Amino acid sequence: MLNISPQSSTKGLVKGRMDCFDRIGEARANKLFARWMIGILLVLLAGLFLPWTQNIRGRGQLTSLTPDQRPQSIPSIIPGRIEQWYVREGQHVNKGDTILRLSEVKAEYFDPQLLDRTREQIMAKEMTAKSYSEKVTALDAQIDALGSSLTIKLEQGRNKVKQARLKLQSDSIRVVAARTEIKVADDQLARGEQQFKEGLVSLVELERRRVAQQRANATLIDAENKLLDARNELLNATLELDGIRNDYRDKLSKAESEKYASLSQMYSTEAEVTKMQVDLANYTVRAGNYYILAPQDGYITKAIRSGVGETVKEGEPLVTVMPSRFDLAVELYIRPMDMPLINKGQKVRFLFDGWPAIVFSGWPNTSYGTFGGEVVAIDNFISPNGKYRLLVGPDPADEPWPQAMRVGSGAVGMALLNDVPVWYELWRQLNGFPPDLYMDPEPVSRKDSK
């Protein structure tokens, strides 16, 4: 019946001579099966020439596109002790809201009047600096007065020296005149004695000439004495002028020394005032750090240190805040061998955890439940997990991402590469070849188009 026996009884039968074969005919199932097989083969053959989009798969998680929109831990800037909490986990806070209050734990800051006492110390130091400044002003006035007095004294001394020099010159002339007179008197006395011997003059005249000669000697001696006095006066005037210079030089040096000493004290005091002002500013800022404030609008996700009375160290995280506004992106990790195939601005399709999807990796346009993305940044160094990190943002030309997604959720990304036929992709997969390098088409310039 099925005509499967090797010893068939119908081998010698001629089908054209028998009417029964014409009436029965061949089985329709054989023709239908053959047609179906041929059709399937044609469909498969045609399917081999359909376009297939090469892709690279990678696993990642949702994050924020900008660093300030990512979850952050708020640390304690100063060491302290937790005194009071003002928020609860899950509560929404605005920028500047108080989260908790700390108290001081260092002994040098225990004084509750520390700021007021520091201000008083600064005021006292400022008054000291002002006193030194006034002393410097007074010393400047004293130096100016000494300079003016020195000018007057020097002028007086120069006049004295000039007078002594003129008196010396006058006395020198008197000495010369006296010597001339005594020479004349000596000559007259000699002639008178000669004439007396000859009887030409009387004894009275001779004695008169002798008296005149004695007076001329006395006048010379007196003139020489006055010349010596004039020389002494000139020397004394010169010494007095030098003494005035030295005296006032000592006074000016002493006043300037006191001035510079006062300036040094003033500058030292001003430096102390500046240091104390810095300390006051630090104390003021430290007092403001007793209150931990929210850096931006967000939600309190986790209190890392809980309770009241706990001591925290400087820089220790206290609470975690999730910003209420964030622009989603995906941190996608790919293998180093696929790194050369990725370019900035390349399209990526995503499957997000919790969102059902029907995926045809080679036909992204026919996939359901996937969302489009665009490569925003590519790391130039490898990550600790041995892969390279891509930052992929939403594709503005595609369907927007679901609003219910949160930072930290998982995602599977498919970076779309070149379009190739299905048979080429099968051949590449069987041979283990890498995908084709994706190249952006170069824009055609106007000169080339002409």
Enumerate the domain spans of the chain: 14-47, 51-68+326-438, 71-104+290-323, 114-288
Query: Quick one: 114-288 is in which CATH superfamily?
Result: Helix Hairpins (1.10.287.620)
Rg over CA atoms, the chain: 60
CATH number of 71-104+290-323: 2.40.50.100
Task: Give the whole-angstrom CA distance, residue 40 versus residue 48.
Answer: 12
Task: Give the whole-angstrom CA distance, residue 245 versus residue 248.
Answer: 5
Residue whose pair of structure tokens reads 């004295």 in the numeric block = 160
Task: Give the whole-angstrom CA distance, residue 148 versus residue 325.
Answer: 77
pLDDT digits (tens, 9 = 90+) for 190-245: 777 777 777 777 777 777 777 877 887 888 888 888 888 888 888 888 888 888 88
**Contact at 8 Å (CB) between 83 and 103?**
yes
pLDDT digits (tens, 9 = 90+) for 150-204: 888 888 888 888 888 888 888 888 888 888 888 887 777 777 777 777 777 777 7
CATH topology of domain 51-68+326-438: Elongation Factor Tu (Ef-tu); domain 3 (2.40.30)
Contacts of 77 (CB under 8 A, 6+ apart): 289, 314, 315
pLDDT digits (tens, 9 = 90+) for 26-84: 556 667 778 888 888 888 887 777 787 777 778 888 888 888 888 889 999 999 999 99
pLDDT digits (tens, 9 = 90+) for 261-273: 999 999 999 999 9
**Taking residues 324-339, what's their average pLDDT?**
83
Share of the chain above pLDDT 90, in %: 20
pLDDT at position 93, please? 92
pLDDT digits (tens, 9 = 90+) for 85-132: 999 988 999 999 999 999 998 888 888 888 899 999 999 999 999 999
Instruction: Concatenate the DSSP letters of all residues of 348-414 into one string.
Output: EEEEETTS--B--TT-GGG-BS-EEEEEEEE-SS--TTSSEEEEEEEPTTSPPPPTT--TT-EEEEE
Which tokens belong to 53? 């989009």
